[in-house]
Structure 1
Amino acid sequence: MSTVEVTPAPRSAAERPAPRPPRRRSRVRRRVSPLRVLGTAVVWLFTAVNLLVLYWLLVSSFKTPVEIFTQPFQLPRQWFVVGQPLRNFAYAWNQAGFGSAFLTTVLLVAAAAVSVVALAAPAAYVLTRLGVRGANVLTNFVAVGMGVPFQTVIVPLFVAMAAVGLTDNLLGLYLIYVALSLPFTVFLLTGFFRSLPDELEEAAALDGASPLRTFASIMLPLARGGLLTALILNAVGLWNETLLAIVFLHDNANFTLGRALFTFYGAASYQSEYGGLVAGITIVVLPMLALYLVLARRIIAGLTLGAGK
Structure 2
Amino acid sequence: MSSSPTGSTPASRPARKPPRRPKPAPGTKRISPMRVIGLVVVWAFTLFNLLVLYWLITAAFKTPLEIFREPLALPSTLFERGTPFRNFIYAWDTAEFGTAFFNTVLLVAVCSVVIVLVSAPAAYALSRLGVRGSGPLTGFIAIGMGVPFQTVVIPAFIAMSKLHLTNNLFGLALLYVALSLPFTVFLLTGFFRSLPDELEEAASIDGASATRTFWSIMLPLARGGLITALILNAIGLWNETLLAIVFLQENANFTLARALFTFYNAASYQSEYGGLLAGVAIIVLPMLVLYILLARRIITGLTLGAGK
TM-score, normalised to structure 2's length? 0.90
Output the CA distance in 2 between the equivalents of 1:137 and 1:31: 44
Unaligned residue ranges in structure 2 (runs of 5+): 1-20
For the 8 Å contact 2:94–2:263, the answer to whether it is kept is: no
Question: Residue by residue, what CA displacement relative to the aligned partner does 1:277-304 show, whole Å, maximum 9, x if unpaired?
Answer: 0000001100111111111111111111
Q: Percent identity?
A: 71
For the 8 Å contact 2:141–2:186, the answer to whether it is kept is: yes
Do structure 1's residue 155 and structure 2's residue 154 form an aligned pair?
Answer: yes
* Residues 98-107 or 110-119, more deviating: 98-107
Amino acid of the structure 2 residue aligned with 1:248:
F
Amino acid of the structure 2 residue aligned with 1:48:
L
Amino acid of the structure 2 residue aligned with 1:287:
P
Output the CA distance in 1 between the equivalents of 2:169 and 2:276: 25
Output the CA distance in 1 between the equivalents of 2:30 and 2:62: 50
Question: Residue by residue, what CA displacement relative to the aligned partner does 1:211-239 show, whole Å, maximum 9, x if unpaired?
Answer: 11111110111000000000001001101
Do structure 1's residue 93 and structure 2's residue 92 form an aligned pair?
Answer: yes
User: Who wins on radius of gyration, i.e. which is larger?
Assistant: 1
Q: 1:307: how far off?
A: 2.6
Do structure 1's residue 248 and structure 2's residue 247 form an aligned pair?
Answer: yes
Q: 1:30: how far off?
A: 2.8
Instruction: Tell me what 2:66 maps to.
Output: 67
Instruction: Tell me what 2:133 maps to.
Output: 134
Q: 1:96: how far off?
A: 1.3
Output the CA distance in 2 between the equivalents of 1:269 and 1:48: 29
Output the CA distance in 2 between the equivalents of 1:188 and 1:123: 11
Q: CA RMSD in A?
A: 1.3
3-state SS of paired residue (1:184): helix
Instruction: Tell me what 1:220 maps to.
Output: 219
Question: Residue by residue, what CA displacement relative to the aligned partner does 1:135-158 show, whole Å, maximum 9, x if unpaired?
Answer: 111111111111111000001100
Output the CA distance in 2 between the equivalents of 1:90 and 1:48: 30
Question: Residue by residue, what CA displacement relative to the aligned partner does 1:187-212 show, whole Å, maximum 9, x if unpaired?
Answer: 00000000111111111111111111
Output the CA distance in 1 between the equivalents of 2:41 and 2:139: 35
Question: Residue by residue, what CA displacement relative to the aligned partner does 1:96-141 show, whole Å, maximum 9, x if unpaired?
Answer: 1112111111110111111000000000001111111111111111
* Residues 223-232 or 133-142, more deviating: 133-142
Instruction: Tell me what 1:143 maps to.
Output: 142
For the 8 Å contact 2:112–2:233, the answer to whether it is kept is: yes
3-state SS of paired residue (1:307): coil
Output the CA distance in 2 between the equivalents of 1:283 and 1:103: 13
Instruction: Tell me what 2:4 maps to.
Output: none
Amino acid of the structure 1 residue aligned with 2:237:
L
TM-score, normalised to structure 1's length? 0.90
Instruction: Tell me what 2:166 maps to.
Output: 167
Instruction: Tell me what 1:119 maps to.
Output: 118
Instruction: Tell me what 1:196 maps to.
Output: 195
Instruction: Tell me what 2:184 maps to.
Output: 185
3-state SS of paired residue (2:305): helix
Aligned residues: 283
